Amino acid sequence: MFYVSVFVQYMGQYMKTKLQYRADLFVEWLSDLMAQAVNLIFLLVVFSHTPLLHGWSRDEMLFIYGFFLVPYAVFAAFFNLWDFNERYIVQGEMDRVLTRPVHSLFQIILERMELESLLGAVPGLVIMVYVGSRLSLSFHWYDALMFILLVVGGVLIYAGIFISLATISFFADARTSIMPMMYNISSYGRYPVDIYHRVIRYILTWVLPFAFVGVYPASYFLRKEEWYGYAFFTPVVGALFFAIAVMLWNAGVRWYRGTGS
């Protein structure tokens, strides 16, 4: 409860900060939307040349991509950890975080949130509605709940992986280039996994489960029943990876406090 109220307070302050720079905010939104639009057009062009891939139609692949954008946007809004090493370890901001009576990871998430990234979900929703109507998919009332559950699962998977990566900074003082590499790998989850080699499919499912952020959950809405098992497994994988990440984080903080910087 305390954490929720702190969260709300931070959110309020965040809004105020953003509203201070009105022009800035406007330009940012505009450029974000434009970037998303370009992305969308690019996708349509690419997919228009690949009508059918391993039994997935163009529209289905677009739908997967559309779905992926939603958890990704939520992740990008709240888990802005890509410069964690630089900001918190090298510059020593971690010390300040550790002198406050709130869990350190929670504080960093709050300090670094970028709510405007949530806009990235809009094109995703547009794509899903558009493709969904073309594919004449049927929706039930409980699909809305399912959608939320699967999105949360996807966010937790992303968060889990990137928190675990950030944890490396506690142990190694050198900067690593793993973070950008992981962003690249994560994009593989946006495409149907059965187009990949067995090994890659295995990795994307069980090692770096990015497939659970794109294909698997999306196939639930595409009514691909052969993937349902995986789709329903999404929240479980999310919870698992997130829990592991938090444990790693705590171990990292313990280590950091043992060694200093």
Partner 1 sequence: MNIIEVEQLRKEFKVHRSRSGLVGAFRDLWTRRYTTVRAVDGISFAVKRGEIVGYIGENGAGKSTTIKMLTGILTPTSGRIVVNGMNPHQEREKFVRTIGVVFGQRSQLWWDIAVQESFRLLKKVYRVPDEQYDRHMGEVIEMLEIGSLLDKPVRKLSLGQRMRCELAAALIHNPPLLFLDEPTIGLDVLVKLNIRQFLKQLNERYGTTILLTTHDMSDIEALCERVIMLDEGKIIYDGSLETLKEKWGQGKRVAFTFAEATAAPPLQELTVGLDVVWKKGEQPNIWVAHVPSGGVPEVVSRVAARYPLQDIRIYEASTEEIVRHIYEEGAVHG
Footprint of partner 1 (CB under 8 A): 2, 5-6, 9-10, 13, 16-17, 20, 92-93, 95-96, 98-103, 254, 257-260
Closer residue to partner 1 (CB): 51 or 101:
101
Cβ-based neighbours of 53, under 8 Å, separated by 6 or more: 61, 192, 195
Closer residue to partner 1 (CB): 9 or 31:
9
> Least separation, in Å, of the C-beta of 96 and partner 1?
6
Q: How does DSSP assign 64-121, residue by residue?
A: HHHHHHHHHHHHHHH---TTHIIIIIIS-HHHHHHTSSS-HHHHHHHHH--GGGGGGH
Closer residue to partner 1 (CB): 229 or 260:
260
**What are the structure tokens assigned to 132, written together?**
């969904």
Dist CA 243 CA 157 (whole Å): 10
> Least separation, in Å, of the C-beta of 12 and partner 1?
9
Task: Determine the 3-state secondary structure of 140 from DSSP.
Answer: coil
**Dihedral-angle region of residue 223 (phi above 0 means left; psi in -120 to 50 means alpha; beta otherwise):** left
Closer residue to partner 1 (CB): 103 or 201:
103
Closer residue to partner 1 (CB): 21 or 139:
21
> Least separation, in Å, of the C-beta of 243 and partner 1?
20
Look-up of token digits 């793993």: 178
Closer residue to partner 1 (CB): 1 or 199:
1
> Least separation, in Å, of the C-beta of 204 and partner 1?
31
Burial of 24 per CB tally in 10 Å (0-12, 13-18, 19+): exposed
Choose among 119, 94, 114: nearest CA to 31.
Answer: 119
> Least separation, in Å, of the C-beta of 87 and partner 1?
12
Closer residue to partner 1 (CB): 9 or 48:
9
> Least separation, in Å, of the C-beta of 113 and partner 1?
13
> Least separation, in Å, of the C-beta of 7 and partner 1?
10
- Name the packing angle between helices 141-171 and 228-259 (round to 10°): 30
**What are the structure tokens assigned to 201, written together?**
């499919």
